[in-house]
Structure 1
Amino acid sequence: METLPLQSVFKDFEKFIQSFKTVILGTLSATVEAEASYAPVLQKNGKFYIYVSELAKHTHNLLENKQLTLLFIQDEQDADNIFARKRATLKSEARHLARDAEGWSELMDAYGEHLGETAKNLRNLQDFHLFELTPIKATFVRGFAQAYHLDGEQLNQVRHMNDRGHGQSKLTEDKKAS
């Protein structure tokens, strides 16, 4: 895998996701209904942390189904072209961290420092839950013809997705082959 020339992609990916204080969540309910929502987020040591209320559907979804997708996407107003907004999609796995779990207090300290006074005030609310979100793989789109897969333990193995070019449908070819 050609990683050296693509290290700039990885660095751009890291810088991009670190610029966010919220993340869009894609979760599934116990009855496999898709739910899109968002939550304030802390990124620390290659993982993401959200502290969410039981009033939100995504909290129940994450307690039932640990698979989720994280989406970081450029604001429309900042995009040169809305068809090519910069975005990172991370397939991830959630782990609920109980209040008595090792490191919970330190993570909540960091969460409050990163996200401010409201985050600090929510800390003692018993209907809120801390989740650790571990990325498994990602896609990163920097613009037209700049789409990449990121894999590996730190998502630092980068490969270009465009092996075909626009205008050619892989779906059509797959149907012909079957």
Structure 2
Amino acid sequence: MSDDEADRLLAVQNAYQALIASQQTLILSTVNQHQQPEISYAPFVQDEQGVFYIFVSELASHTANLLQSGRTSIMIVRDEVQSRNLFARERVSYQCSASDIPLSDPVSEIPLTQLQERFGETIKLLRTLADFHLIALTPETGRYVAGFGKAYDLILPDGIPVAVNGESKKK
């Protein structure tokens, strides 16, 4: 790989990491017990290993779906107002495994503290409610789309971008 290519891929990696850092919520796609797709969203934090953490209520259908299946697809997308073309919004998506982290487990304290630092008093209140779960979403595959003709598969766990080869077919 040439230095120019390495620099370009590093710029792509920095761009999708900046997108993630700039957003506070992710979109969750789950499947319910009847195999029907459902979509929702949740505030998140991400650790240094790239794992996303959400703190969600049992009253939300996505929580039951995550606990039952242990799988989700997530997407973080640039806001419409900040996008030049709504057909090519910048976005990153991942297929993830989902794990319930018991709140009694000391491991839960770091992401819960990060959530509280990011979202303030709301998390402090939610931590007092018995129906909330800390869910770790661990990416297994990923894709970053920077715009038209700019799609990259992400090699995990490091998130190294690899350009997707292919062209849109014209009618």
Which of 43, 46, 55 aligns to 2:46? It is 43
Aligned length, in residue pairs: 167
**Identity value in percent:** 35
CA distance in 1, matches of 2:91, 2:156: 19
Q: What per-residue deviation string (whole Å, max 9, x for no partner) do you get for residues 127-162 of structure 1?
A: 010001111111111111111110121222x2111x
Q: CA deviation at 1:124?
A: 1.4
Q: CA deviation at 1:107?
A: 2.2
Distance change >3 Å, CA 106–CA 164, structure 1 → 2: closer
Secondary structure at 2:27 match in 1: strand
Q: TM-score, normalised by structure 1?
A: 0.88
Q: What per-residue deviation string (whole Å, max 9, x for no partner) do you get for residues 50-89 of structure 1?
A: 0000110000001101110111111112111111111111
Which of 52, 59, 71 aligns to 2:56? It is 52
Q: CA deviation at 1:168?
A: 5.6
Does the CA contact (< 8 Å) of 1:73 and 1:87 recur in 2? yes
Q: Which has the larger radius of gyration?
A: 1
| Misfit runs of 4+, over 6 Å | none
Q: Which residue number corresponds to residue 28 of structure 1?
A: 31
The reply to whether residue 84 of structure 1 matches residue 122 of structure 2 is no
1:113 counterpart letter in structure 2: E
The reply to whether residue 148 of structure 1 matches residue 156 of structure 2 is no
RMSD across aligned positions (CA) = 1.7
CA distance in 2, matches of 1:164, 1:18: 29
Q: Which residue number corresponds to residue 131 of structure 1?
A: 135
Secondary structure at 2:141 match in 1: strand
CA distance in 1, matches of 2:170, 2:24: 37
Q: Which residue number corresponds to residue 163 of structure 2?
A: 160
The reply to whether residue 122 of structure 1 matches residue 129 of structure 2 is no
- Give unpaired runs (5+ residues) of structure 2: none
